[in-house]
Amino acid sequence: RKIGGGSSRKKFTEGWVEFKKKRIAKAVVQSLNGNIIGGKKGSYYHDDIWSMKYLPRFKWSNLTEKLAYDSAVRKKKLQQEMTQVKKETNFYLEQMDKNKQITAIKRKREEKQSSAGNKQSSDSKNNDISEQSGREPKQRKLVRADVRKENIANVLSNVFTQ
């Protein structure tokens, strides 16, 4: 408000008043509701209007519970936002580290290839995969068909001989 040329005073939007007697509370609400706050003409709150409402069966403990609940919800929401931001930051940093590692590996490969004078292999697909992931694909060992048939025959003979 002060930047916009306004006052630096606090602006109150709501408040609560507790009375010992219900009859007095109802009378105050009826007499002040909708009236101008008044005071001297230069007063900050001179032209503001009272807006009052009597709340039946409302206790001060209800108000404090509500304020405590709102504060807890606000803190919980802020904590969740902070956790989310922390996760995003950690993910970004991990991706940056992976990118540094991959570029270092590429640079070393290029240095080896240029120093040895080797040309790229004809398996461009394997090179593309390894460059994207940053590591060599894991190869499985070849299982010969005749060994597989012998193993199956041994298992079947053991099953049916008993």
Please give the pLDDT value at position 59: 82
Please give the pLDDT value at position 96: 93
d(CA 2, CA 6): 5
Nearest to 66 by CA among 14, 30, 9: 14
Return per-residue pLDDT of the chain as tens, 162 residues: 566 666 677 777 778 888 888 899 999 999 988 888 877 887 777 788 888 888 888 888 888 898 899 999 999 999 999 999 999 999 999 999 999 999 999 999 888 888 877 554 444 445 554 555 566 777 777 666 666 667 777 776 767 655
Nearest to 106 by CA among 95, 98, 96, 117: 98
Please give the pLDDT value at position 76: 96
CA angle, 35 as apex, 32 and 39 as ends, to 5°? 100
Residue 97 — φ and ψ, nearest 5°? Answer: -65, -40
d(CA 1, CA 10): 10
Residue 77 amino acid letter: K
Please give the pLDDT value at position 6: 66
Residue 4 DSSP one-character state: T
Q: Please state whether 17 falls in left (phi above 0), alpha (psi between -120 and 50) or beta.
A: beta
Which ranges of 33-141 would DSSP assign to H, the alpha helix? 60-116, 124-133
d(CA 105, CA 97): 12
Task: Take residue 134 and report the two structure tokens written for it.
Answer: 């940053």
